[in-house]
């Protein structure tokens, strides 16, 4: 535990207390060290002329002095605090301890930064048996007054007087009394207790304090105040606060300030009110106040929804509505409007404001940047630039790149009530409603009949692609953020929830069960309707109303600015001409990853691929490859054409061959017929291809070292396609990428094979064209020997999915069993498959780039893992000097924004 | 292609030719730059007074001059070459071109280092239609003379005259004539052609040369000689040689020398002989000449084994033997004995010498360090120190650490004829003979009946341990050098061949098949006898004679020296008290890796373990763990006691839980009974534990983050065991190791758990003892964030098996499908699971140590992967500053030697 004993005595302090309120303040927004974060913020607001409830801040220097003096207050503090209270009394028009019109205050701690373990807040200080009656009369509610009083005693009793549970197994003594009281009045909720019951409870609370502390609860407001101030200072050395400081390296002599502020009430009569508003419309971004208030009410009433709220603006008022604030209190409304304008101008952002009107006087309780929809975010950003409120670059920096996702996918309307039966990983954003099916074949059949379907699987495999295409959403019990289902769904822009481990899928009975809280499991059968929220990872029973995705008209202008400011290029991962076109629409400047294996699953192709895999000689393999060649050429023609004018990085075959193998006995039989083999022999050969850890198995460049003819045919198909297009005058830029390289010699050999194959095609076609050869960097070894690999590479493309798997030794498909625990227990801050792990994986990437460019300073470097679409990771890529990022088409706009923000951040 | 044109003109050369022979030389052993490696070696031997066949070396400067002059010879060369030949003629007593007694010479290239792509050797230069008859008369064999002649024409025709195949599909034209000739004479082998046939062949060869070159084959020996010299110089710029130079960075101006040396013949009469000998006995190391010779014969006759060889020493002669060299040619013998002595003294090592006696004159053709058995190696090393021939440290540096293995395991006697039916990986050395079984249960049953069995499996799993223990050898169709079978077998010191992919195992029919060359597969059925050579990786049909392992008496002295010289400690990987004791016997100084999971497979334990795994709540799990606790305590008591006085590193549970799960329906049923669950429910739960990539799954520290109680119970068992022993006055040093840590926070959390658990035991036992907590470093991420991990670790133990897997992205269990191709095609030099990959894995290890010690300079660092027993890897560990290496007990002596060699190498 840190101690604070040996501090040198500072010069005698003079100003110990800084007042604020009534549109001015003794302190300023930049005095965080002296006034703490909260105190400085209150001073800043006051300085702006905003009517914040008045109060004063006791400085952090007093805290240090308090400890230096052995927990005593420095001379002069008492006077300055008394003067502070007098100042507040004067501004609010009430008096501390006045039986008729009492001033109540809140007392809060406030260090430079918010710090757990310290005393937080005591409200309603100043209440006693006399003042409570005044409050009751003023508010017209005995219940309200005594509820405030019992809450004050409970909070003060716990925090200041130390009346709390005696042991871990004990209950909280105040809560126990409250529960007993509710039981006695047969009240389920606190609100079931009336004024008399609460008056009794207050008596019991006070008796408890007397019994535990041997003294009466302090009834003098001044005693209450000094007790609270002392508790704040003392809490600075609470064990939890000390541990937190040590963890973050905050010195003990920062100290904490104490903020004493008037309580204001919106329920003291018809000239009172309370409300919340946004300075612009949070859904559309329209520039007008948007919010609601309640006459003669307190904040809780607005939240509770028991009374119908009233609109702020007259023009927002519908025929049956109660009066608007503008109509009912026009003077206060004007004052509020002015305050909103001031705050927006000052903070240069849309504000979310809480206010209270007490006896026709407006008080602003809180302001903060307002949460908004993706659409509103875009409109507000562009509008504010047009209004001259912010610079273009500031507007860009404020965009939450990830939130752009909302523009691209449908979402559920917020009004719908959600019966969430299970939660999984938010694998691909968006929302969808449909009937449950359990097989890809059913998905296809049902979709043909016009049904919207949700495909539910333990996990998906490449064979399921057709069914996935037809489904509105995909839900899996296993797999992580980069599992097959997640990657494919994101690529399709389709809503998906993975790793929903509560699901027990029973294919035989075509249903799944979810354990529910009350023991009876929930059963969802084929044909039942579910709503899937891929943005939140929720599985919801029944049908929720959907809101379609719309681009606001300001989007295009925003993206023009974005593109003008970014250094890094943005490409897309796309495997088909359709994906490529969509990616272009989203602004992609090329394809960073075209996976050739995804082309192999068409029903017309898979048989040839299987023949190739089961071949036992080069000759057999070449025969099967000859069937594949024209198909691949057609694929590449389509995709190169769709991306004409931009580079297209084509990754040669990567995954373990057995991914392509038949799973059902029918498929095995068909394959046996095609190969002229016995079923048993085919099965034995299939068994011999089984791998323990396919992720670390016979894949990528290893396939080509053992069977060079596979890559040879793929390269031939690419270059023939490119020649065909070039002959037609279409501009093509093929980039041939070798996956899973770990050794320089692998790339050297394969580059040689590629070049020889290309030369053969050039000779046959009588023409040449430019192309490049590069490699994925997706193994830790590739990073550390990148200098040697770079000798044979025109470009590096970091495959951060696989690199994350190998660096952590963590299979993305199996992580579902423990990653949630890691995140919950904060062993990890983020899922490393979603946000690039800077310290580990990022360090290897840094080493890889540094060494690669040591050999080739101009080496082109990109990223094609799923991280290419994550804003934080994109920023990191910019720091490391990447030339481009590549992500799924739907994430291209996000990556463009993140790339621009990275450039801007660097420039600052 | 490098060129040699712009070289500056050197000062005019004077001595272009250096002679050697007759016990002296113009050059010296240290003139490699001028004379090339071969020339310098010949000079060195001559300088020692060794009678090497005389000759001369044309210097590398001449080569440079040759190119500078546009491929012409410098002035003076012709005279000096003529003088050189005259010198040789005089020493040998023959004359170049003499029809009766012709001098024949060899011509060889000789750069500073041996270099592929250059001309190698032309033998018997000097033969023509006249001299060949003289040779025939002298040797008494027309066949020999003409066979020499036709070989000379063929070699010279190809290399010097460029008469070779015209295209890739063409055959070699000389070989085609030879084949036709054999066919005409119905001869299967070359030896089937008699003198007349060979004479005809020579005519045909010469006709071929005339047809192809338009000129007659040169009959003048001088023309032949200059042609050969020119060919050597020209070959320096052969494309292959140039590529090789470029690859190795050898400059073109090194040039090559040309060595011209007299041919000598041991078959020119009864005063001639030829033989080979070792200066000490290659099997026992005994200090006496050991070898054999043939009177009036050439070298090939000794190798061919068609004649019975004669002994060298009279005392080696058995009653029926022909005369010994000592007896038959006493003078020459003395000369030979002196030469042997000189060579051994000079090279300070046992020599393997080829000699020829031509007309009572001894010629030493070649000497090199002799290959020897492990036993001989040890004896010779110790003897030579005793004889004062070498320093202790030199003797140590000469030991081939890996060869010590021969002392520890039985081997097949070299005499046995091997019917090798398949080859796999030499996974665990030694030799064994037994009957084939296909299940671990059969291995146990058959062994009980007294049979020696060989267990053949596709692969093994932890469940097979009992059967593996009983088998003499293990043979698997899959898996690499660190597969389960390999690791367990090495630990048991049991012979094992893995990854024998030619095997197709058919469990149902209890047999395996191997495709054979002639189409008919070889079938090996249960009960058939096989011999397994784990040192070579061979599967041999039938029974080979075994030689048991013996330690020579000199072993202990050698190891005393070894231990005196090494810096690094050597520990063993051991899981049982028996292994620990064996390891101590082999000199282990502690246990570097005690795997707790191996203790869980006993039939009395596995059920409790399975109960634990299938538990769905902490409470259930704790119940199952309570059954395991006393068993684990007993395990640890045994192993700590066996290693008393030394540290014992105990790794907490590491492997994926499902490794422990039942495989058979009987086991599932038993488990269901024990758990009181339905079989179907157990099966569903088992299925939910299935992992795609178990190596990257829910294992190691991840188990403890999700189920801390598992490690808690293990730690409790360790510390209770340690307290029990300490109470008895036994010295224990437990080191608790957390596996698979990738993040500092993981270790921080677990260290905290360990410390809390230990404190609880200390309190309960009323005593304390010292222990440490450390971690495996086996993930790339752990290496790069080692500085932060080190904050919570007392030691690092590099788990290089897993680190190799993750760094390469290479599953050791699946690598068998492509690693052999990688090694065959030289994409990799070594199996990285056998020899630590310095550039990749090693670089990460380097980073890990450097960063770890940046935080904690005194951090203890060890290695516990399989590499800890590989000499090259041990040397590397020493370079990196490891404190110790740990390996399987049988490798401890090897590691001790390698560690000593590393220290000595560093000191030099």
Q: What is the pLDDT confidence band of residue B689, given thresholds at 50, 70 and 90?
A: confident
Higher pLDDT, B890 or A843: A843
Residue A572, both tokens:
């897309």
Q: Are strands B310-311 and B290-295 parallel, antiparallel or unpaired?
A: antiparallel
Asked if residue A73 has pLDDT above 60, the reply is: yes
- In terms of pLDDT, which residue wins out, A217 or B247? A217
Report the residue of A744, A788, A804, A809 to disrupt the B interface, i.e. the one with the largest count of B CBs within 10 Å. Answer: A809
Which DSSP letter does residue A239 get? H
Q: Chain A neighbours among B 235-254 (CB < 8 Å)?
A: none
pLDDT over threshold 50, residue A319: yes
Burial of B401 (0-12, 13-18, 19+ CB in 10 A): buried
Q: Which helix (H) or strand (E) holds B393?
A: helix B392-398
DSSP helix/strand/coil, A862? strand
Q: Is B169 on the interface with A (CB under 8 A)?
A: no
Residue A291's beta-bridge partner residues? A277
pLDDT of residue A121: 86
Q: How close is the nearest chain A Cα to the Cα of B816, in Å? A: 9
A893, pLDDT greater than 50: yes
Q: Compare B321 and B469 and report the one with higher pLDDT.
A: B469
Calpha distance B660→B686 (Å, rounded): 11
Nearest CA in chain A to B685: A504
Measured in degrees and rounded to the nearest 5, phi and psi for residue A60 equal: -65, -25
- C-alpha B273: how far from chain center: 35
Q: Is the pLDDT at B764 greater than 60, yes or no?
A: yes
Please tell me which residue, A614 or A146, carries the higher pLDDT value: A146
pLDDT band for position A518 (50/70/90)? low
Contact A693 B698 (CB under 8 A): no
Over residues A512-541, the mean pLDDT reads: 88
Q: How far apart are CA B479 and CA B485, in angstroms?
A: 8
In contact, A608 and A624? CB cutoff 8 Å = yes
State the best of B777, B780, B820, B838 to mutate against chain A, taking most chain A CBs within 10 Å. B780
Q: Would you state the pLDDT for residue A5?
A: 44
What integer is the mean pLDDT of B756-777?
Answer: 97
CA dist A14 → A8, A11, A319, A873 (Å): 17, 9, 59, 50
CA distance linking residue A255 with residue B880, whole number of Å? 48
Is A785 in contact with B702 (Cβ distance < 8 A)? no
Q: Which residues, numbered 473 to 532 in chain B, qualify as contacts with chain A under a Cβ-Cβ cut-off of 8 Å?
A: 504
Using CB atoms within 10 Å of the CB of residue B11, give its burial: 0 to 12 exposed, 13 to 18 middle, 19+ buried: exposed
Between residues B143 and A59, the one the model is more confident about: A59
The pLDDT assigned to B3 comes to 42
For range B523-539, the mean pLDDT: 92
Please identify which residue in the block is written with the tokens 């190799």.
B804
B802 touches chain A (CB under 8 A): yes
Which tokens go with B103?
Answer: 């001098």
Tell me the three-class secondary structure of A244-293, residue by residue. HHHHHCCCHHHCCEEEEEECCCCCCCCCCEEEEEECCCCCCCCCCCEEEE
Residue A875: its H or E element: helix A871-879
Distance from CA of A685 to the nearest CA of B (A): 10
B7 — pLDDT class (breaks 50, 70, 90): very low
Task: Summarize pLDDT for B416-456 with one digit per residue, the tens.
Answer: 678 899 988 888 888 999 999 999 999 999 998 989 999 99
**Nearest CB neighbour to A694, from listed B693, B697, B784:** B693
Distance CA B258, CA B111 (A): 8
Dist CA A150 CA A141 (whole Å):
14
Q: Is there a contact between B593 and B612 (Cβ–Cβ < 8 Å)?
A: no
Q: Residue B490 — φ and ψ, nearest 5°? A: -60, -40
Q: Which of B864, B867, B877, B887 is catalytic?
A: B864
Which residues of A participate in catalysis according to the annotation?
Answer: 484, 864
Tell me the pLDDT tens digit for each residue of A91-134: 988 999 999 999 999 999 999 887 877 877 899 999 999 999 99
Q: Which two structure tokens, joined as six digits, stand for B153?
A: 């024409």
When pLDDT is cut at 50, 70 and 90, the band that residue B865 belongs to is confident
> Maximum distance among all alpha carbons in chain B?
103
CB-nearest partner of B814 from A696, A749, A828: A696
Using the beta-carbon criterion (under 8 Å), do B827 and A705 form an inter-chain contact? yes
* Residue of B42, B48, B37, B50 whose CA lies nearest to B20: B42
Q: B740 CB near a chain A CB, below 8 Å?
A: yes
Confidence of residue B519 (pLDDT cuts 50, 70, 90): low
Nearest to B715 by CA among B748, B747, B657, B755: B755
How confident is the prediction for chain B on average, in pLDDT? 90
Say which DSSP state A543 is in. -
- How would you label A76-96 residue by residue, b for 16+ Cβ within 10 Å and e otherwise? ebeebbeebbebbbebbebbb
Query: Using a CB-CB distance cutoff of 8 angstroms, which residues of chain A are in contact with residue B692?
Result: 694-695, 811, 813-814
Q: Tokens 């060579």 label which residue?
A: B343
Quick one: B230 exposed, middle or buried, by C-beta within 10 A (0-12, 13-18, 19+)?
middle
CA atoms lying within 13 Å on the CB side of residue B822:
22
Q: What is the CA radius of gyration of chain A?
A: 34
When pLDDT is averaged across residues A438-443 and rounded to a whole number, the result is: 93
- Tell me, what's the pLDDT at A559? 96
Q: What is the pLDDT of residues B647-657, one digit of tens each?
A: 999 999 998 77
What are residue A540's DSSP bridge partners? A420, A531
Instruction: State the nearest Cα–Cα gap between B806 and chain A, in angstroms.
Output: 5
pLDDT over 80 (residue B518): no
Half-sphere exposure of A519 (CA within 13 A, CB side): 0
- With a cut of 60, say whether residue B733 has pLDDT above it: yes
| Residue B729 binned pLDDT confidence (cut-offs 50, 70, 90) | very high
Spell B332-369 as b/e; 16+ CB within 10 A means b.
Answer: bbebbbebbebbbebeebbbbbbbbbbbebbbbbebee
pLDDT tens-digit profile of A49-69?
Answer: 999 999 999 999 999 999 999
Contact between chains at B697 and A814 (C-beta distance less than 8 A): yes
Q: Which residue of B has its CA nearest to A690?
A: B814
Chain A residue numbers touching B840 (CB-CB < 8 A): 742-743, 780-781, 784-785
A742/B691 CB distance under 8 A: no
Establish if B705 touches chain A: CB-CB under 8 angstroms: yes
User: Within its chain, how far is the Cα of A11 from the centroid?
Assistant: 48
Q: What is the pLDDT of residue B304?
A: 60
Taking CB atoms and an 8 Å limit, are A705 and B841 in contact across chains? no
Q: Phi and psi for A737 in degrees, rounded to 5?
A: -120, 130
Q: CA of B837: which chain A residue's CA is closest?
A: A781
According to the model, what pLDDT value does residue A2 have?
Answer: 41
- Provide the percentage of residues in chain B whose pLDDT is more than 70: 97
Cα B147 to Cα B196: distance, rounded to the nearest angstrom? 10
The per-residue pLDDT for B850 is: 98
- Rounded distance between C-alpha atoms, residue B702 and residue B743, angstroms: 11
Dump pLDDT digits (tens) for B227-264.
Answer: 999 999 999 988 888 878 877 778 888 999 999 999 99
Q: What is the pLDDT of residue A403?
A: 86
Q: What pLDDT, on the 0 to 100 scale, is given for residue A494?
A: 87
Predicted local confidence at residue A3, as pLDDT: 42
Per CB-CB distance under 8 Å, the chain B contacts of A810 are 696, 742
Residue A702: closest C-alpha in chain B: B818
Marked catalytic residue, from B63, B272, B409, B484: B484
pLDDT score of B240: 82
Please report, to the nearest 10 degrees, the dihedral formed by the alpha carbons of residues A780, A782, A784, A788 taken in order. Answer: 170
Per-residue confidence band for B591, with pLDDT thresholds at 50, 70 and 90? very high
Helices and strands, number each (H, E), in chain A: 34, 34
The two tokens of residue B144 are 């020999």
Name the residue in chain B with its Cα closest to that of A750: B827
Asked if B54 and B262 touch (Cβ cutoff 8 Å), the reply is: yes
As a whole-number percent, the residues of chain A with pLDDT over 70 amount to 97
B268 DSSP assignment: S
Phi, psi (5° rounding) for residue A732? -120, 145
Report d(CA B866, CA B836) in Å as an integer. Answer: 9
Cα A758 off chain centre by = 46
Quote the pLDDT of residue A1: 39
A743 contacts on B by Cβ (under 8 Å): 827-828, 840
The CA distance from B704 to the nearest CA of chain A, in Å, is 10
pLDDT confidence band for A9 (50 / 70 / 90): low
CA-to-CA distance for A156 and A174, rounded, in angstroms? 11
Under the banding of pLDDT at 50, 70 and 90, the label for residue B5 is very low
> Are B693 and A698 in contact (CB < 8 Å)?
no
**CA B98 to centroid of chain Cα atoms:** 49
Split at pLDDT 50, 70, 90, the class of B849 is very high
Which residues of chain B from 64 to 93 reach within 8 Å of chain A, CB to CB? none
Does the distance separating the beta carbons of B779 and A705 come in below 8 Å?
no
Tell me the per-residue pLDDT of A77-94, one tens digit each, with 9 for 90 and over. 999 999 999 999 999 889
| Confidence grade of residue A10 (pLDDT, cut at 50, 70, 90) | low
- Does B164 have pLDDT greater than 80? yes
Which chain A residues in 812-851 lie under 8 Å from chain B, judged by CB atoms?
813-814, 817-818, 821-822, 825-828, 837, 839-841, 843-844, 847
Distance (Å) from the alpha carbon of A867 to chain B's nearest alpha carbon: 18
The four Cα atoms B522, B526, B528, B529 give a dihedral, to 10 degrees, of 110
Instruction: Summarize pLDDT for A850-860 with one digit per residue, the tens.
Output: 999 999 999 99
Q: Of all residues in chain A, what percent carry a pLDDT higher than 90?
A: 61
Nearest CA in chain A to B821: A706
Cα→Cα distances A804→A67, A551, A867, B813, Å: 49, 34, 10, 21
Of A696, A843, A847, the CB nearest to B695: A696
By Cβ distance, the residue of B809, B840, B843 closest to A696 is B809
pLDDT at B899 over 70: yes
Query: Where residue A685 falls among pLDDT bands split at 50, 70, 90?
Result: confident
**Lowest mean pLDDT across A346-350, A549-553, A717-721:** A549-553
- State the pLDDT at residue B255: 92
């Amino acid at each position: 535990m840190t101690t604070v004993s040996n501090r040198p005595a500072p010069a005698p302090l003079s100003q110990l207390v800084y007042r604020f309120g009534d549109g001015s303040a003794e302190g300023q927004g930049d005095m965080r060290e002296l006034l703490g974060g909260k105190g400085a913020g209150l001073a800043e607001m006051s300085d702006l002329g905003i009517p914040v409830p008045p109060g004063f801040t006791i400085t952090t220097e007093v805290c240090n002095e308090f400890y230096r003096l052995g927990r005593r207050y420095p001379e002069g503090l008492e006077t300055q605090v008394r003067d502070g209270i007098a100042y507040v009394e004067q501004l609010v028009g009430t008096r501390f301890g006045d039986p008729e019109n009492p001033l109540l205050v809140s007392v809060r701690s406030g260090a430079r930064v918010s710090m757990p373990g310290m005393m937080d807040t005591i409200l309603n200080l100043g209440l006693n048996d006399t003042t409570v009656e005044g409050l009751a009369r003023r508010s017209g509610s005995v219940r309200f007054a005594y509820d405030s009083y019992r809450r004050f005693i409970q909070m003060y009793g716990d925090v200041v007087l130390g009346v709390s549970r005696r042991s871990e197994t004990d209950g909280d003594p105040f809560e126990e009394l409250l529960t007993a009281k509710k039981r006695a009045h047969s009240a389920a909720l606190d609100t079931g207790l009336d004024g008399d019951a609460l008056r009794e409870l207050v008596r019991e609370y006070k008796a408890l304090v007397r019994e535990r502390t041997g003294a009466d609860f302090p009834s003098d407001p001044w005693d209450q105040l000094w007790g609270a101030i002392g508790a704040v200072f003392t809490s600075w050395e609470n064990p939890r606060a000390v541990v937190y400081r040590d963890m973050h390296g905050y010195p003990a002599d920062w100290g904490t300030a104490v903020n004493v502020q008037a309580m204001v009430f919106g329920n003291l009569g018809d000239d009172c009110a309370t409300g919340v508003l946004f300075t612009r419309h949070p859904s559309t971004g329209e520039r007008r106040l948007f919010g609601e208030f309640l006459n003669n009410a307190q904040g809780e009433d607005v939240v509770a929804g028991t009374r119908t709220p009233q609109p702020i603006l007259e023009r927002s008022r519908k025929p049956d509505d109660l009066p608007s604030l503008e109509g009912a209190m026009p003077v206060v409304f004007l004052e509020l409007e002015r305050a909103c304008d001031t705050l927006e101008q000052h903070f240069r952002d849309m504000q979310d404001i809480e206010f209270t009107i007490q006896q026709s006087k407006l008080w602003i309780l809180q302001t903060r940047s307002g949460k908004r929809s993706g659409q509103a975010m875009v409109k507000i950003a562009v509008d504010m630039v047009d209004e001259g409120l912010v610079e273009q670059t500031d507007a860009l920096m404020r965009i939450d790149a990830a939130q752009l996702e909302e523009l691209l996918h449908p979402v559920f309307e917020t009004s719908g009530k959600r019966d969430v039966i299970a939660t999984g990983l938010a694998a691909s954003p968006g929302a969808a409603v449909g009937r449950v099916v359990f097989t890809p074949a059913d998905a296809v059949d049902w979709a043909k009949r016009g049904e919207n379907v949700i495909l539910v699987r333990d996990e998906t495999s490449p064979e399921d692609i057709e069914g996935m295409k037809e489904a509105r959403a995909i839900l899996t019990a296993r797999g992580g953020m980069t599992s097959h289902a997640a990657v494919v769904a994101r690529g399709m822009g389709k809503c998906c929830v993975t790793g929903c481990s509560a699901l027990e899928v029973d294919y035989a009975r075509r249903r799944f069960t979810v354990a529910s809280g009350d023991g009876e499991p929930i059963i969802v059968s084929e044909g039942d309707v579910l709503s899937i929220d891929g943005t939140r990872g929720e599985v919801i029973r029944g049908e929720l109303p959907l809101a379609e995705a719309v681009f606001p008209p300001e989007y295009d202008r925003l993206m023009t600015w974005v593109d003008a400011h970014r250094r890094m290029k943005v490409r897309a991962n796309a495997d088909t001409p359709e994906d490529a076109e969509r990616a272009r629409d989203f602004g992609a400047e090329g394809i960073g990853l075209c996976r050739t294996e995804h082309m192999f699953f068409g029903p017309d192709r898979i048989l040839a691929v299987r023949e190739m895999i089961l071949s036992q000689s080069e000759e057999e393999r070449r025969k099967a490859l000859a069937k594949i060649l024209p198909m691949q050429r057609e694929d590449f023609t389509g995709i190169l054409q769709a991306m004409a004018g931009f580079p297209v990085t084509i990754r040669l075959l990567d995954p373990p061959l057995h991914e392509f193998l038949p799973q059902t006995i029918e498929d095995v039989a068909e394959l046996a017929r095609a190969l002229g083999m016995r079923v048993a022999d085919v099965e034995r050969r299939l068994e011999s291809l089984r791998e323990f850890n396919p992720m670390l198995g016979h894949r990528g460049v290893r396939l080509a070292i053992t069977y060079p003819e596979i890559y040879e045919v793929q390269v031939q198909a690419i270059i023939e396609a490119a020649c065909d297009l070039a002959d037609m005058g279409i501009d093509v830029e093929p980039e041939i990428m070798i996956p899973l390289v770990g050794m320089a010699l692998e790339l050297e050999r394969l580059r040689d094979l590629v070049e020889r194959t290309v030369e053969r095609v050039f000779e046959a076609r009588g023409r040449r064209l430019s192309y490049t050869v590069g490699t994925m960097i997706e193994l830790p070894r590739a990073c550390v020997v990148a200098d040697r690999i770079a000798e044979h590479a025109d470009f590096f493309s970091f495959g951060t999915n696989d690199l994350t798997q190998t660096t952590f030794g963590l299979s993305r498909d199996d992580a579902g069993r423990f990653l949630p625990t890691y995140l919950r227990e904060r062993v990890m801050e983020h899922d490393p498959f979603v946000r690039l792990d800077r310290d580990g994986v990022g360090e290897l990437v840094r080493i890889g780039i540094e060494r690669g460019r040591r050999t080739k300073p101009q080496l082109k470097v990109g990223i094609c893992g799923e991280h290419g679409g994550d804003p934080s990771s994109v920023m990191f890529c910019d720091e490391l000097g990447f030339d481009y990022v590549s992500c799924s088409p739907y994430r291209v706009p996000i990556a463009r924004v993140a790339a621009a923000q990275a450039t801007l951040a660097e420039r600052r």
